[in-house]
Amino acid sequence: MKMLAKGRILVVGGGIAGLTAAERLARAGAGVVLVEKSPYLGGRVARLHRYYPRMCPPRCGLEVLINNIRGFPHVETHLLTEVIDVKKASSGIHTVTLLKKPRRVMDTCTACGLCETACPAEKKTSFCSQAIKAIRGPGDWAHPATFWVDEGMCRGRDCSLCVQACPEQAVDLSQQPEETDLDVQGIIIATGTELYDASLIKEYGYGRLPGVITAMELESFFRPDGPAGGLPVHPATGEPLRRVAFIQCAGSRNANHLPYCSGYCCTVTLKQVEYLHQSLKDVQTWIFYQDIRTPGNREEYYRHVREEYRPVFIRGLPSSIKYRPETGELTVKCVDTLSRKEVRGRFDLVVLATGMAPPALPEFYGIERDGSGFFSGHIPCEPTELRRPGIWAAGSVQSPMDAEESVKSALAAVAQCLVKLRQQPAAFPALDQRKCDRCGRCVKECPYGACIPGSDGYPAADPGDCRGCGICQGGCPLLCINLPGYGSKKIEEVVDKVLTRGGPEMAILLFLCGNDAYPAWNSLIKQQKGKGLEGIMPMVVPCIGAVNAAWVSEALIGGLDGVMLAGCRPDQCHHAAGTSLAATRLDNLKETLTRMRLEPERVSLTQVTIDDSLKLFKEIQNFKSSLEKLGPNPFK
């Protein structure tokens, strides 16, 4: 098959986001290595009964993806495998180390289940789930249909009852973990995140009170592998459910738990109310909520559920849940904030609609997190890409997401990934090897990790990783890195021009960051028509971090009266480190100037946003008047 996109991509996580990403990349012709930590593909979506908005069973969408993935020869799938290390091998290539844990059941398994019957190691994980065995199958639906041995529960080779029971001799308890190294061009992280641990909300008594469950557990009630084989009955009594309460924002929008709204839990509850009413005639449902948040077309679904099934909505979150062992009932106490009256209700089952907790991610990805602890890309320009190029995120590792949003974000990550694989060489820094002494400063300062020493020790930027900010050029002590169109030559020309012109007029060199300061400057000259801007020589740079301290020195030695740098605010710098690096360089220079008895006010760094043209004008005027007070540059 002709490969349309060169290279190989590692997709970490086999949930809906990871599967979507892997399948689309494979269809575009890229080599894919799909790695999943658990023994089965499908992730959390595979454990759902239905997913909204179309209320289709998840197997429908997942099966298409998995079948396509199986059909491509250039997709490798590794289950029970974790990424334990990621290193940048050379420019554009990551070396990843995979740890494959033993499945201990070979592909010849026919999923007959005789081993599971024979297995003596049994455990019950929660009151509403069936007991599990150490060797077990995929449950209702999952891919692949092969059993696996849970290392934590297995009694080891002394027991070996499963080995004897297997008619296909597919169980091999001697398998050991394996480590492999792999070179990939890119990594898509679709590891998702865990749901918030409901037992941390003490007042709801999850894990302590029988009958308090999470929404994810209620989902399993409707599945053939659920506690009652798909019947919505009370797991303890076996009676059909009569009164069910849903508590929204369980651990969400609460400073003691998760401060944010996960966004999907309200729709999940509405969906589950619909399941309950469809399968049970006499069921009553109550929803305790703060606000029902169903943005976009989900509002219509909210209206549908509200009018069709008439659940009782109580605006307020319960303060306590009490359990009566004699009747097995749960009493929920709550203040209705609309009527300001206390409401009590008795229920068979209380369902906590928990949100998504921030993901636990290993250090080696170098992921930056937002205020809530989720992956943060450069929003809105590069929302899926890490600052380390070649690593993208998809799915709920980015923010709490439902299946639909996860698929969308996976498609966005794939699009970015394909751009990188088919990248055309763009303008990026040129290195003069005759001058370079391989000091490595550019390697350290590059905010994208795009600059990597080659086998000869000289730094080389990868065209796919480099974003042309020029921070390497700004930091180079030997001035041997030049961005096309921005190098030292241009500064020297300006200085020479001022020197040949001579005269007492004030001359100021103004460096403008191309992202924000330059557009602000442009609107400024239109507004001012050149008035008040005499003597200013503007010079555009891709990022203010691309200004080398030697250029500023050059201008001062050459007799210019002042040098001003206009960059973005540090938190808005498009290249993350540019403004702060420029500030450090200028501080160092100012200290030297002070020792030289040259006024440090002759250099200045100002921070502007794109619409700050007036601020820029004021800063320029202030700078000019302070220079007038200082008098001409003594080097003039």
Partner 1 sequence: MPPKVDPHKCDGCKGEKEAICMAICPGDLMYLNEDTLKAYCRSPRDCWDCMSCVKACPQGAIETRLPYQLGYYPAKLIPLMGSKRVSWTCIGQDDKVERFSYKNRND
Least distance to partner 1 from the beta carbon of 548, Å?
A: 7
Count of other CB atoms within 10 angstroms of residue 463: 17
Q: Which of 382, 445, 535, 580 binds partner 1 (CB under 8 A)?
A: 445
Count of other CB atoms within 10 angstroms of residue 120: 10
CA 607 to CA 549: how far, in whole Å? 18
Query: Which CB atom, from 188 or from 605, has the smaller least distance to partner 1?
Result: 605
Q: Which of 439, 506, 540, 583 binds partner 1 (CB under 8 A)?
A: 439
Q: Considering only residues 466-495, where is the footprint of partner 1 by CB under 8 A?
A: 475, 477, 479, 488, 491-492, 495
Which contacts of 447-453 are long-range, i.e. CB under 8 A and separated by 24 or more positions? 447/387, 447/471, 447/575, 447/576, 447/577, 447/578, 448/387, 448/388, 448/389, 448/575, 449/88, 449/366, 449/388, 449/389, 450/91, 450/389, 451/91, 452/88, 452/90, 452/91
Least distance to partner 1 from the beta carbon of 551, Å?
A: 6
Q: Which of 93, 443, 540, 610 binds partner 1 (CB under 8 A)?
A: 443
Phi, psi of 457 (to 5 degrees): 90, -15
Q: Which of 48, 555, 573, 616 binds partner 1 (CB under 8 A)?
A: 555
Query: Which CB atom, from 394 or from 550, has the smaller least distance to partner 1?
Result: 550
The structure tokens listed for 585 are 């360089």
What are the CA-CA distances from residue 539 to residues 162, 194, 547, 625, 632 (Å)? Answer: 75, 50, 10, 21, 21
Query: Which CB atom, from 477 or from 484, has the smaller least distance to partner 1?
Result: 477
Q: Which of 550, 576, 616, 627 binds partner 1 (CB under 8 A)?
A: 550
Least distance to partner 1 from the beta carbon of 568, Å?
A: 23
Query: Which CB atom, from 66 or from 460, has the smaller least distance to partner 1?
Result: 460
Among the listed ranges 62-70, 135-143, 203-211, 546-554, the one in contact with partner 1 (CB under 8 A) is 546-554
Binding track, positions 238-267, relative to partner 1; x by CB under 8 A: ------------------------------
Phi, psi of 150 (to 5 degrees): -80, 110
Query: Which CB atom, from 156 or from 485, has the smaller least distance to partner 1?
Result: 485
Q: Where are the alpha helices (DSSP H) in 255-332?
A: 265-279, 298-309
Binding track, positions 504-543, relative to partner 1; x by CB under 8 A: ----------------------------------------
Contacting residues for 109 by C-beta, under 8 A, at least 6 apart: 145, 146, 147, 166, 168, 170
Cα-Cα-Cα-Cα dihedral sign, residues 447, 453, 458, 462: negative
Q: Is 436 in the site for partner 1 (CB under 8 A)?
A: no
Angle at 614 between CA 611 and CA 615, to 5 degrees: 90
**First-last CA distance in the chain:** 68
Least distance to partner 1 from the beta carbon of 555, Å?
A: 8
CA 92 to CA 313: how far, in whole Å? 54
Candidates 417, 374, 329, 299; CA nearest to 11 is: 417
Least distance to partner 1 from the beta carbon of 434, Å?
A: 10
Is the distance from CB of 533 to CB of 525 less than 8 angstroms? yes
Least distance to partner 1 from the beta carbon of 552, Å?
A: 9
Query: Which CB atom, from 225 or from 492, has the smaller least distance to partner 1?
Result: 492
Query: Which CB atom, from 587 or from 628, has the smaller least distance to partner 1?
Result: 587
> How many positions of this chain bind partner 1 (CB under 8 A)?
35
φ/ψ bin of 540: left (φ > 0), alpha (ψ from -120 to 50), beta (otherwise) = beta
Among the listed ranges 29-37, 187-195, 374-382, 550-558, the one in contact with partner 1 (CB under 8 A) is 550-558
Q: Which of 328, 453, 463, 570 binds partner 1 (CB under 8 A)?
A: 453
Q: Is 458 in the site for partner 1 (CB under 8 A)?
A: no
Q: Is 551 in the site for partner 1 (CB under 8 A)?
A: yes
Least distance to partner 1 from the beta carbon of 492, Å?
A: 6
Which contacts of 271-276 are long-range, i.e. CB under 8 A and separated by 24 or more positions? 271/50, 271/51, 271/52, 271/55, 272/215, 272/218, 272/219, 272/246, 272/351, 273/246, 273/305, 273/309, 273/311, 274/55, 274/305, 274/308, 274/309, 275/49, 275/50, 275/222, 275/232, 276/232, 276/241, 276/244
Binding track, positions 115-154, relative to partner 1; x by CB under 8 A: ----------------------------------------
Query: Which CB atom, from 103 or from 590, has the smaller least distance to partner 1?
Result: 590
Q: Is 501 in the site for partner 1 (CB under 8 A)?
A: no
Query: Which CB atom, from 3 or from 596, has the smaller least distance to partner 1?
Result: 596
Binding track, positions 562-591, relative to partner 1; x by CB under 8 A: --------------------------xx-x
Least distance to partner 1 from the beta carbon of 606, Å?
A: 22
Omega prior to 542 cis, within 30 of 0: no
Q: Which of 294, 548, 604, 613 binds partner 1 (CB under 8 A)?
A: 548
Q: Is 553 in the site for partner 1 (CB under 8 A)?
A: yes
Query: Which CB atom, from 450 or from 620, has the smaller least distance to partner 1?
Result: 450
Least distance to partner 1 from the beta carbon of 590, Å?
A: 10
Do the bridges between strand 341-347 and strand 135-136 make them parallel or antiparallel, or are there none, so unpaired? unpaired
CA 256 to CA 506: how far, in whole Å? 59
Give residue 442's identity as a one-letter amino acid code.
Answer: C
CA 414 to CA 22: how far, in whole Å? 8
User: Which residues bind to partner 1, rule: CB under 8 A?
Assistant: 437, 439-441, 443-445, 453, 475, 477, 479, 488, 491-492, 495, 548-551, 553-558, 588-589, 591-592, 595-598, 634-635
